[in-house]
């Protein structure tokens, strides 16, 4: 699990291993640079760069 901070309210929330893997798959399919998650507290969209998600991904 990795932690992400909302830029709007400052709330820290965790991304599960499955969420990171699913986000990376979608980024590769659509050739995007950022994946967006919603903050669970304020519902603000948090953009997470592809490089950060690749660093968060479990090593296999």
Model confidence over 7-31: pLDDT tens digits? 999 999 999 999 999 999 999 999 9
Number of structural domains found in the chain: 1
- Is the per-residue pLDDT at 1 higher than 80? no
Per-residue pLDDT, 57? 87
Q: Which two tokens stand for residue 8?
A: 């709007």
CB 37 within 8 A of CB 50: no
- Enter the pTM of the model: 0.84
Residue-number span of the structural domain to which 22 is assigned: 2-56
Q: Residues, the chain, total?
A: 60
| Contact by Cβ (8 Å): 35, 50 | yes
Q: What is the mean pLDDT of the chain?
A: 94
Instruction: Assess whether pLDDT exceeds 70 at residue 60.
Output: no
């Amino acid at each position: 699990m990795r932690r992400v901070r909302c830029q709007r309210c400052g709330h820290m929330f965790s991304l599960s291993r499955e969420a990171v893997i699913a986000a990376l798959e979608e980024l590769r399919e659509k050739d995007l640079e950022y994946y967006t998650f919603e903050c669970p507290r304020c519902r603000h969209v948090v953009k997470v760069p592809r490089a950060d998600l690749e660093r968060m991904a479990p090593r296999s």
